[in-house]
Amino acid sequence: MSLLKIEHIDKYYEEGKPVLKDFSLDLPKGKITSLIGESGSGKSTLLRIIAGTENRDSGEVFLAGERILGPKEKLVPGYDEIQLVYQDYKLFPNSTVEENILRPLLQYDKDYRAHRLDTILALLRLRDFKDKFPRELSGGQQQKVAIGRALSLEPSVILLDEPFSSLDTIQSRELIEELKLIFQKLNITVLFVTHDLDDALQMSDSLVIIRRGRIIQSGDAASIFLKPKNLYAAKLFSYLNEIPHTKNTYIRPSDLFLFKTSGQKAKVVDKKYLIHYNQLTVQLSTGQFWKAEDKKRVFNVGDKVYLKWEKDKEISFQ
């Protein structure tokens, strides 16, 4: 049964251009879902609508069967049960870590506040930093404080709006892994918005791909990778090589086999050293440029290379 139900949401700019169009999504309790799409696809707008801080033009949002009201319908917009965490942290610069986390609990019982603070500091491993100011923390630590503040109200839903975009690769990878385990432990429903597929895959196996305000495909990562419904979904995972003399039929660089004697003839025109292979740019006899993965690192710029692939690895679109 869905905890959060989003039904047929429409949202338009003032000039009538759609931001979200007939957007529907069900989020089960305790599940982490990654919503991935390019900038301007409506991801952040959707999160604000879910949180009750942005009006929609039509459609409904329900949390455990309760209708979520927008700012036009509610005197104080937003819900304690749904917490939105932004990429720029929105911490109070002159308040300590402890004060930032406790700020949403100012009206609560003193003993409860103390207990909740201790729980969150332990959960996020922030006890040693509780008296520090945001400027004294790393970007990853600041983001943990922002998430700690959101968790202080014991929400059932956490919405993450590109929270790792300002962090470096190492910080981002470590924080995602830590937070994923925390969310699973707390059995919180999470909608993680990002434009970075790697971050999405590390955070969850459940993906929703959005483009121009519409869902174009959803499901587990493996299913989308193997059977993308359109070119946009396929290209999120890797570069695509269009097969000569075909219409809308492609092969991924990872599915190519490289030989020195027979196959589709090409010439290596560029080589890049990547972690697990050399990425080759090759030119076919048709003049097309393809990408190929040289996992054994045997080919160099100027070499002839012959390419083969299995027919069932081809990806076609109508």
Structural domains of the chain sorted by starting position, each given as residue range(s) with its CATH number in brackets: 2-231 (3.40.50.300), 238-316 (2.40.50.140)
Task: Tell me the C-alpha distance between 209 and 49, whole Å.
Answer: 18
Burial of 185 from C-beta contacts in 10 A (0-12 / 13-18 / 19+): exposed
Number of H helices, E strands in the chain: 8, 18
For residue 159, the cross-strand partners are: 84, 191
What are the backbone dihedrals phi and psi of residue 168, each rounded to the nearest 5 degrees, phi first? -75, 170
pTM: 0.90
Q: How many CB atoms lie within 10 A of CB 179?
A: 23
Given a cut of 70, whether residue 1 has pLDDT beyond it is no
- What is the per-residue pLDDT across 146-176, written as a single tens digit (0 to 9) for each? 999 999 999 999 999 998 888 888 888 999 9
Q: With H, G, I as helix, E, B as strand and everything else as coil, classify residue 95.
A: coil
Q: Which one-letter DSSP state was computed for residue 313? A: G
Q: Using alpha carbons only, how large is the chain's radius of gyration in Å?
A: 24
pLDDT of residue 308: 97
What's the gap between Cα 275 and its chain centre? 23
Looking at the chain, the whole-number percentage of residues with pLDDT higher than 70 is 99
Question: Tens digit of pLDDT for each residue in 43-85?
Answer: 999 999 999 999 999 999 999 999 999 999 999 999 999 999 9
Chain segment 238-274, per-residue pLDDT in tens: 999 999 989 889 999 999 999 999 999 999 999 999 9
Q: Are 34 and 219 in contact (CB under 8 A)?
A: no
- The 10s digit of each residue's pLDDT in 222-234 is 999 999 999 999 9
Q: What is the mean pLDDT of the chain?
A: 94
CB-CB contact of 263 with 308 (8 Å): yes
pLDDT, tens digit (0-9, with 9 covering 90-100), for 87-113 = 888 899 999 999 999 999 988 999 999
Q: In a 3-state reduction of DSSP, which class is residue 282?
A: strand
pLDDT tens-digit series, residues 16-32: 788 999 999 999 999 99
